[in-house]
Structures are given as structure tokens and as C-alpha cells.
Amino acid sequence: MNNYFKVLRPGINSTFQDLGRFGLQHLGIVASGCMDQLTFCTSNKLVGNKISEGALEFAYQGPLIEHVGETVLVAISGKVNFNIIKKNDEIIKGKPNESFLISNGEKIDILSTINSVYGYFSIFGGFKIEEVKGSVSTLVKAKIGPNNGDKLKVGDKIFFNKSHQEDKTNKIQFDFDKDNIIRVMKGLQIHYFSKKSQEDFFSKEYKVTKLTDRMGMRLEGQKLENIVNKNIKSEGITKGSIQVPGDGQPIILLSDHPTIGGYPKIANVITADYDKLVQKIPGTTIKFKLVDLPVAEKAFQEYVRKF
Amino acid sequence: MLKKITNIGDCGITCDFGDEVNKSTNMEVIKLFNFIQNSVKTRKLKGILNYTPSYNKLIINFELGQIKSQEIIEFIKSSDYSKIKLTENKKIIEIPICYDEEFALDIKRLETKTKLNFKDIVLKHLETNFFVYMIGFVPGQPFLGDLNERLYHDRLDTPRVKINKGSVGIVEKFCTIYTFESPGGWNIIGRTPFELFNINKKNISILSPGDTVKFKSITKKEFGSFKNE
């Protein structure tokens, strides 16, 4: 039997993601993968999947989908406002971070993320989607990944692997880090910036602007003065690098970043604070705190304990 | 020569081969890249997620919790990768290019700037054996060098909003081929119908860093009837 969800409204940027596609950056293919790893893994845990199973990532407004076929266990993770619409059109307020059963003819309407950007939708047994070079992550700009490498569209059918009738739901206590301090390590070209600009960067507030997506987050704040050269010889880029182009306003490179780039980098976000960073909505002000490698490694150990 | 290794954030290192952008520096980068790639394939090195060679640097990303940067640094320092011969698995690839005026958007301006005529520009481009310095920015896009000095030219002052897939562009001593339709500031001298990148093929990228490219002139008619395998 065909079990699937019919997409009635796709949402703003709904894509399949997992933990990323690795080993191909030397050919220009960035790892991609879910933006917020902890929230992603939470949705899989809720339905009893392995934490790396592919899930549907949505940003701000998610999709409206209708279930067709056998009953199945699903979950939505993050801070998300959503409804379950019964067959008789009765609307029930959904509870994020808690798995629930969904049956033929019922709809899930993911209205919005609350004071955050990304949420995830997982299904027991996983989605029936094709791996591309070992991953189901989607890189829309290069059309790489399942669903022809594209975002969800109206009329798409999302097939899934298994049914699940057993009414045994699961709940995980969940909240985001509320503070706006992002810990960073020194970037390769930090000395390209004046002493004053280095001090500004680590002490002044920077605002997340609307020019933010899966590729990068543009910030606005005290202009950073480059005293060496506004360009460097193009070099490989790492997720979380903070580059500063000629206009002096920093850009944090996120999961779908270009693989090489020619702007100097002032700092790099530590792994433990990346999930917190990507959930900051435009208008939020963040502050950078300089740490060294041992601190970053210790922070990582604390971060993995949450999984 | 490998000059220094520096941490980039908590899950990356950069191996820096100095400030020169030339073939011999880049070959050192590619030797280390090949060595790391092989060490990952033969499981001598675990926890490596990506390795990205560029003109004068190799960046290695790893999985925090699987391996520490210090272990990778020691692995590199204790090995004798510089003895690797690059000639073994490196390919020479012929790429068809059509210099028809419909595709060669900037060739008139280049004629004025370089004081060479169209035929000479094409000839100088065709006679060069291009070295693949690196691949990236977007999937499959190669950065080739070195152009004949007479063709050196700056980037466009105002980048074009849209450059067609397959367009061949030059800037300074480099030549590139756009593998996706994208914005860009390179001087466009022709276009290839040859598909360099296809994620659905086993060999997703025709070119690898260290390969050699030779262009072959084709007519507009040949361009139109060209079939990718």
C-alpha cells in the first residue's frame, strides 16, 4: 500500500536533511545537512529512529500536509506552533517535542516556528527518499539531494517506509539556549583587522539581518576596519567561519556555504554554539565571546551530552 | 613546502604552503590532499569529514569527538607525503569550446585591451596546457592556470547578474568554467557544451585538482549537436 503525505502548502523553505554529505568538498560540494543538529536528532528520537535518519526541515512557516494511507507515528521538534486537523475539520493544537499518531485524511498544519527559525518533522521508520552520494541532505542551489534537490512544492507526495499503529508516544523536555552569547575562536586572518576593530568585534553587539538563509547570516553592527587587504587568495571554507567583505560587516557562513572564498575571516563559531546561533531570528542582537581550543572542546563535550 | 598548520575553529585545520600562487606550490598542496584522501580511504585516518585544497592551502575538517586536531597534525608531520608522484593518476582532459561571438561576450573588449586580434586571443588560449589548481565555490567549478601573460586581465568592474552554464571566463592568470548558471565577474571568451559536473554519475566531476585541461575549438554547429555521454 502507498503511504504518503500530500503537500497542500510547502512552507517557506522545507527540505529533506540529515547530518550531511561528506568527503566531496574538494569537488565543490558542501556538506549541507540540518541546520540545528540537536533539534533534528530530537525529532528522530521521538519516533524511535536512529538519530541520523533523514527528516524534513522547515524554516519560519512549515508545510500543510495531508496523510494518506496507514496510521503512523510522527513528531515535530523545535519551538513550533502547529495544528492537527481531524477528518471532521476539528482543529487540535499540536504539541511539539512529543510524538503522535496520524491517520488517513488528517492534516498537519505547521503554522510557524516561535521566536526561532528551524523545526523538524520526523516519521517512524523514515521517509522513502533517495540517498545521493550517501546522504539525503538537500542543496537547493545545486539541485543535489532527494525530491530532485528541490524544496517541497504544492502537490508533492512525501512517501514513508512503514506504518505504525501502536499508540505509544514519547515526550522530550526541550528548550533553546536563550542567551545571545556566541563563543568563537580566532579566525585565520584576524590580524587583517585593526586592534580597535578586533576589540569592537568581541565587545559590541551585532544584529542578525534579514539577509540570512542556509548559506549565511549577514550581521550589522560596528564596521570592521581591514588594515591589510580586503581580499585573500581563495581558500577552503569551514562552516561557522565569520568572513568580513569590503563593507566591514561580518557574514557567518552556514551549512550551505560556498566551498571556497576570498574574504578574510575574523573568527569561527565553536561547534557547541552553532545550533544556538542558527535559531536566532532577524533583529536579534548577538555578542561574540573569544575562547581558545580547550574551552571549545570542553563545551563540545557538554553539548554532546544533550543528544 | 608546508609552512605551518593552524586550527580553524574547533573542527578544522589549515595547512599553509606559503603565499605564492603558482603551479609548484599548488602541486605540494595536491600531494598532501592526495595523501590525506588515501589515508581516509584506507582507514589510516579516521574522523575526517572533508578536505579542500586551494591555490596554496589545504583545509581539513574533522568530526569533533572522533579525532583531535593535534592527532591530525602529528599524522601529517610524521609522514613522507612529499615523495608522492603526481603523474600516476592525473588525467589530461580535452574540453570543447566554441568562441562564437554569441558566447564570447568580452572578447571585443579584450581585443582592445590586449592589442591582440580575435584569432590571436583564441590561439593563445588554445595553446595553453591548463593545470587544475582547485575545484569549488559551487559544485564542479574548476580554477585553471596559467594563462598566456598577454591575456591577463582584471575582473569586470560590475559583475554580470547571470552567466550561462558552460561559459568560459578569464581573470588575471586564471581561467574558469561556470558549471551552474550564476552571477559572475569573469571575462567571458567562449562556452563549452561539455558537462563537467553531474551529481548522478558515478564520477561526478570530470576534473580533479592536479589534472591538465586542453581546450579544443568547435564551431557553433558542433556546439549545437554536441552530446554528453
Q: Say yes or no: B52 contacts chain A, CB-CB below 8 A.
A: yes
Closest by Cβ to B9, choosing from A133, A235, A268: A268
One-letter amino acid at B172 equals: E
Which residues of chain B does A300 touch, with a Cβ-Cβ cutoff of 8 Å? 10, 64-65
Q: According to the model, what pLDDT value does residue A161 have?
A: 87
Nearest to B97 by CA among B223, B206, B208, B185: B223
Number of domains chain A is built from: 2
Which residues on neighbouring strands pair with residue A219, listed in sequence order? A208
Asked if A143 and A185 sit in the same domain, the reply is no
Partners of B64 on chain A (C-beta within 8 Å) are 271, 297, 300
Q: Quick check: helix, strand or coil at residue A174?
A: coil
Instruction: Record the cell numbers describing residue B20, joined without a space.
Output: 605564492
Residues of A in contact with B40 (CB under 8 A): 23
Q: In terms of pLDDT, which residue wins out, B153 or A269?
A: A269
Crossing angle, helix B107-114 and helix B118-126, to 10 degrees?
A: 100
Residues A11 and A91 in one domain: yes
The answer to whether the Cβ–Cβ distance between B55 and A29 falls below 8 Å is: no
Geometric angle at alpha carbon A16, from A181 and A156, rounded to 5°? 135
CATH number of A152's domain: 2.60.120
Please tell me the distance from the alpha carbon of residue B94 to that of residue B167, in angstroms, as a whole number. 16
Q: What is the pLDDT of residue B157?
A: 85
Nearest Cα residue to A280 out of A60, A80, A76: A60
Q: What DSSP element (H or E) covers A102?
A: strand A100-102
Q: What is the 3-state secondary structure (H, E, C) of A2-61?
A: CCEEEEEECCCCCEEECCCCCCCHHHCCCCCCCCCHHHHHHHHHHCCCCCCCCEEEEECC
- The overall average pLDDT reported for chain A is 96
Query: What is the distance between the alpha carbons of residues B95 and B128, in angstroms, rounded to a whole number?
Result: 12
Is a pLDDT exceeding 80 seen at residue A165? Answer: no
Mean pLDDT calculated for residue range A218-222 = 97
Chain A residues with CB-CB distance to B136 below 8 A = 25-28, 236, 258-260
- Name the residue of chain B whose CA is nearest to A261's CA: B137
pLDDT-based confidence at residue A276 (cuts at 50, 70, 90) = very high
Residue at A176 is within a domain? no
- Looking at the partner chain, which of A141, A233, A293 has a beta carbon nearest the beta carbon of B10? A293
ipTM value: 0.95
- Which residues of chain B fall short of a pLDDT of 50? none
Residues in chain B closer than 8 A to A239 (CB atoms): 61
Are A10 and A110 part of one and the same domain?
yes
| CA B218 to chain centroid | 22
Q: How far is CA B224 from CA A149, B118, B192, B221, in A?
A: 27, 22, 10, 5
- The verdict on A235 and A149 lying in the same domain is no
For chain B, residues classed under CATH 3.30.1360.40 are: 4-83
Instruction: Measure the CA–CA gap between B46 and B211, rounded to whole angstroms.
Output: 27
Q: Would you state the pLDDT for residue A1? A: 62
Residue A97 lies in a domain: yes
Same domain, A44 and A97: yes
Instruction: Say which CATH number the domain at A299 has.
Output: 2.40.100.10
Grouping H, G, I as helix, E, B as strand and the rest as coil, residue B107 is: helix
Q: What is the pLDDT of residues A282-296, one digit of tens each?
A: 999 999 999 999 999
B67 — contact with chain A (CB < 8 Å)?
no
More reliable by pLDDT, A194 or A169: A194
Interface list for A 15-54 with B (CB within 8 A): 20, 22-29, 31
| Together in a domain, A112 and A233 | no
Give phi and psi for A224, each to the nearest 5. Answer: -100, 125
Closest to B51 (Cα-Cα) out of A189, A24, A139, A256: A24
What pLDDT is stored for residue B82 in this prediction?
A: 77
CATH 2.40.100.10 residue ranges of chain B are: 92-225
The pLDDT of residue B88:
57
Q: Is the pLDDT of residue A157 over 80?
A: yes
Interior CA angle at B47 toward B42 and B51, to 5°? 80
In this prediction, residues A135-158 reach a mean pLDDT of: 97
Angle in degrees, CA B133, B135, B138, rounded to 5: 150
Cβ–Cβ under 8 Å, residues A160 and A166: no
A13 and A148, same domain (yes or no) = yes
Average pLDDT over residues A113-137: 97
Same domain, A151 and A275: no
Task: Verify that A98 and A231 share a domain, yes or no.
Answer: no
Same domain, A151 and A12: yes
For residue A238, is pLDDT > 70?
yes
Residue reference for cell 523553505:
A13
Domain membership flag for residue A225: yes
Cα–Cα distance for residue pair A64/B171, rounded to 1 Å: 48
Instruction: Give ∠ CA A35-A37-A39 in degrees, rounded to 5.
Output: 100
Residue with cell 584576524: A190
Task: Establish if A152 belongs to a structural domain.
Answer: yes
Alpha carbon separation from B216 to A151, A192, B128 (Å, rounded): 38, 42, 11
Nearest CB to B59; choose among A22, A132, A238: A238
- The reply to whether A149 and A222 lie within a common domain is no
**Is residue A164 one of the residues assigned to a domain?**
no
Share of chain A above pLDDT 70, in %: 99
Q: Specify whether the CB–CB gap between A25 and A16 falls below 8 A.
A: no
Cβ <8 Å between A188 and B14: yes
Angle between helices B69-77 and B23-41 (to 10 degrees): 110
CB A97 within 8 A of CB A171: yes
In CATH, what is the architecture of B92-225?
Answer: Beta Barrel (2.40)
User: CB–CB of A138/A145 below 8 Å?
Assistant: yes
Both A9 and A87 in a single domain? yes
By residue range, what is the domain housing residue A227? Answer: 181-304
pTM: 0.95
Residue A179 has pLDDT above 70, yes or no: yes
| CATH class held by domain B4-83 | alpha beta
Q: What is the pLDDT of residues B126-177, one digit of tens each?
A: 999 999 999 999 999 999 999 999 999 988 888 899 999 999 999 999 999 9
